[in-house]
Amino acid sequence: MQYNKTKTDLLKNPKTWVVTGVAGFIGSNLAEALLKLDQKVIALDNFSTGHKHNLEHIQSSVSPKQWENFHFTQGDITDFETCKNITKDVDIILHQAALGSVPRSIDNPILSNHNNVSGFLNMLTAAKENGVKRFVFASSSSVYGDSQELPKVEARTGNLLSPYAVTKYVNELYMGVFEKCYGMETIGLRYFNVFGKRQDPNGAYAAVMPKWIGQILNGEDLFINGDGETSRDFTYIQNVVQANILAGTTTNSEAFGQAFNTAIGGRETLNNLYASIKKGINSHLPKLDIKDPIYRDFRAGDIRHSNANIDKMKMLLGYEPTHTLESGLQESIAWYIDDIKGNK
C-alpha cells in the first residue's frame, strides 16, 4: 500500500508542513497524524470556526517530544503578512482554512469570498514568494453543482448552486494558473462529506453527521431536510488524512495542477444514515430512548445526490481508503459518546 510506504519514508526523512485551519475538524486531524509521524508542523488558525480544545486534543494524542514539533500562530489568512511569515522555510502546505457551509455562503457571500478566495490567494502567493513548491488545499464536491452524473468524475462539473461552490471552483482555477505560470506543485482535494472525531456538532452550520449524533445523545429533536432520500458519499476523516499526506509527498508530476475526488466511492441516503447512527448509538447505550426524525423542506443550494469516482486518485496518488462508512461511523460514535461524557 502506497500510504504505508509514504509514512515509513516520512519517519526516515521528516518534512516541515504548514497546516492552516489547524483548530478545525480536518486541520486538527491532519496535524495529529503528521506529529505522530515525527513531522514539524507550522500551524495557523484564527478560531473563527475552530476551537482551542482541539489543540488540547492534539497535544494529549502525541508524545511530549512530538508536541515540541508543533508551532502555532493565531492569525488570519486574509492578512498577507501572516501568510508570508508562516510559509518561510517549509516543504509542504496543507491549506484547510476556509469558511465552510453552503447555507453560510448564501447568507453572507461577501464574507465567504473574502476568506475562501482572497485568503486562499494570499496563501498561494505567499507560498510562491517563499519558494514553497507543494501546495495542497481543500476543495469541495460542491463544485459539481447540478450535474446529474453519478459517480462524479473530476473532468465534468455542472452549474454551481451556491457562493461557497463558486469560491472552491475559483480556488481550483487559481491552482491551475499557478501551476502553469510559476511551476508550483498544486493539488486540490474535493472533499465529499467528511466526518469523524472533533467535528463540531453545534451551531447553525454543523454538518449532518455530528449534528445528528449530538442531538440523539442529548435527547433533542432531529431534522431531515426533504424526503430523506438525498444521498451522499460520506467519507471518514482518516481517508482524508491519507489523501492529504499522499498529495503532499507524491513525486508523480501528472498530479500537479489537478483536482481529485476525496471520498470512499459509495453513497448512502439520509434515511439509511439515520438508521445506522441510531443502531450504532443503541449498541453503546441500549436504554437510550431515541426520537423519530422530523422531516422538513429541502435546503436551498443542496445537491440531490453525491457519489465520487475515486479512480483518478487511486491511479495518480496511490490512494486506497482504509475506512468504510460503517467502520468510520463506529469509531465516530464511540468518540462522541466518550467526549460528551468527559465534558459532563
pLDDT of res. 14: 98
pLDDT of res. 103: 86
pLDDT of res. 304: 84
DSSP letter assigned to residue 270 = H
DSSP β-ladder status, 231-232 and 268-269: antiparallel
DSSP letter assigned to residue 143 = G
Q: Secondary structure of 64-102 in the HEC alphabet?
A: HHHHCCEEEEECCCCCHHHHHHHCCCCCEEEECCCCCCH
Q: What is the largest CA-CA distance in the chain?
A: 61
Q: For residue 28, how many other CB atoms are within 10 A of its CB?
A: 29
Instruction: Please state the pTM of the whole predicted model.
Output: 0.94
pLDDT of res. 187: 98
* DSSP output for 273-325: HHHHHHHHHHHH-TT---PPPEEEPPPTT--SB--B--HHHHHHH-------H
DSSP β-ladder status, 16-20 and 92-95: parallel
pLDDT per residue of the chain (344 residues) written in tens, 0 to 9: 899 999 999 999 999 999 999 999 999 999 999 999 999 999 999 999 999 999 999 999 999 999 999 999 999 999 999 999 999 999 999 999 999 888 899 999 999 999 999 999 999 999 999 999 999 999 999 999 989 899 999 999 999 999 999 999 999 999 999 999 999 999 999 999 999 999 988 866 668 899 999 999 999 999 999 999 999 999 999 999 999 999 999 999 999 999 999 999 999 999 999 999 999 999 999 999 898 999 999 977 777 888 999 999 999 999 999 999 999 999 999 999 988 755 54
Which residues make Cβ contacts (< 8 Å) with residue 326, sequence separation at least 6? Answer: 276
**Judging by beta carbons within 10 Å of its beta carbon (0-12, 13-18, 19+), is residue 326 exposed, middle or buried?**
exposed
Strand partners, 17: 41, 92
List the domains of the chain with CATH numbers.
2-195+237-265+306-323 (3.40.50.720)
Q: What amino acid positions are annotated as catalytic residues?
A: 164
pLDDT of res. 201: 83
Nearest to 37 by CA among 17, 57, 60: 17
pLDDT of res. 136: 98
